[in-house]
Amino acid sequence: MPQIHPTATVIGDCTLADDVQIGPYCSIRGPVTLEAGVRLLGHVYVQGPATIGAGTVVYPFACLGFEPQDYKFKPGAPTAGIVIGRDCLIRESATVHASTKPDRPTRVGDRVFMMVNTHVAHDCLIGSGVVMVNGSGVAGHAELGDNVTLGGNAVIHQFCRVGRLVMMSGDCAVSLDVPPFCMVNERNRLGGLNLVGMRRNGVPRDQITELRKAFRDVLRRPMPRSRMVRMLEKRGASCPVIAEVAEFVKSSKRGVAPGFGKPPREVMTWLQRQGRHDAVEQPAG
């Protein structure tokens, strides 16, 4: 029988596994399904439709399944809610918002670690094994692949995609898609490959070597996306991880974050201004 603290509120069509634990002052409003071993430690708020997978632990003041922060969404409109996977850790004051769609929920995969004050917005698709460090956030309709790591206060623009095994440094932001296996060191800028993450996740050494060459020759250099895709597809014929990057780049709708081979926009602007200044200062011959 579920353990429900006397101060907790459980209302509506709720389905609770026998070993669910609901701590003090939690508020659960159905339809909500809590699978085996789910623990809500206290002051947790869950608004249905919501499903929380087996073994997930939710810490105080997390808010799960509430209405999306979207002007177009009218209060009380139909929503598919949220689905959170198995064995997740959702720490204090984290938020996962309900979908704006009646047929597709906001999804968080298995073994996701959402640290303090992290946020997953409406209609997001979060893969498994994702780590979101304190203060990081994912805006609406964005997608994170498996085993992505977001550093503290890292943020993802709406509709962006982040490929699997991407590592983002703290305080970074992206408004462009980030290919799999890359590292983001500053705003919209690829700083290299997540070599440690690739090794830990069993990517073969020879494939890592080939991907390093492809990053150096293709992703670091400014070039039209069509040419980038052709070069990656050619190399990907004999290397699965490069083929994965090629397919990701090819399917991008927002464009792909560039490597360090191209100076950031603010640097280009400064260089252009310097060039104009030098032209004005140049004495007549």
3-state helix, strand, coil in the chain (%, to 5): 20, 25, 50
Q: What is the largest CA-CA distance in the chain?
A: 93
Residues of the chain with CATH 2.160.10.10: 1-162
Q: Which fold has domain 1-162?
A: UDP N-Acetylglucosamine Acyltransferase; domain 1 (2.160.10)
Residues of the chain with CATH 1.20.1180: 193-285
Per-residue pLDDT, 85: 98
Q: By C-alpha distance, which of 38, 103, 18, 27 is closest to 65?
A: 27
CA distance 242 to 231: 10
Per-residue pLDDT, 267: 64
Residue with tokens 């029988």: 1
Distance between the two ends of the chain, CA-based, in angstroms?
93
Q: Which architecture, in CATH terms, is 193-285?
A: Up-down Bundle (1.20)
Per-residue pLDDT, 278: 59
For the chain, 285 residues long, give each residue's pLDDT as a single digit of tens.
899 999 999 999 999 999 999 999 999 998 999 999 999 999 999 999 999 999 999 999 999 999 999 999 998 899 999 999 999 999 999 999 999 999 999 999 999 999 999 999 999 999 999 999 999 999 999 999 999 999 999 999 999 999 999 999 999 999 999 999 999 999 999 999 999 999 999 999 999 999 999 999 999 888 889 999 999 999 999 999 999 999 999 999 999 998 876 555 666 677 677 766 655 555 555
HSE-up of 147 (CA within 13 Å, CB side)? 15
CA distance 186 to 249: 20
CA distance 130 to 240: 22
Quote the Cα angle for 100-103-108, to 5°.
Answer: 70
| Helix 240-251 / helix 205-214 crossing angle, nearest 10 deg | 40
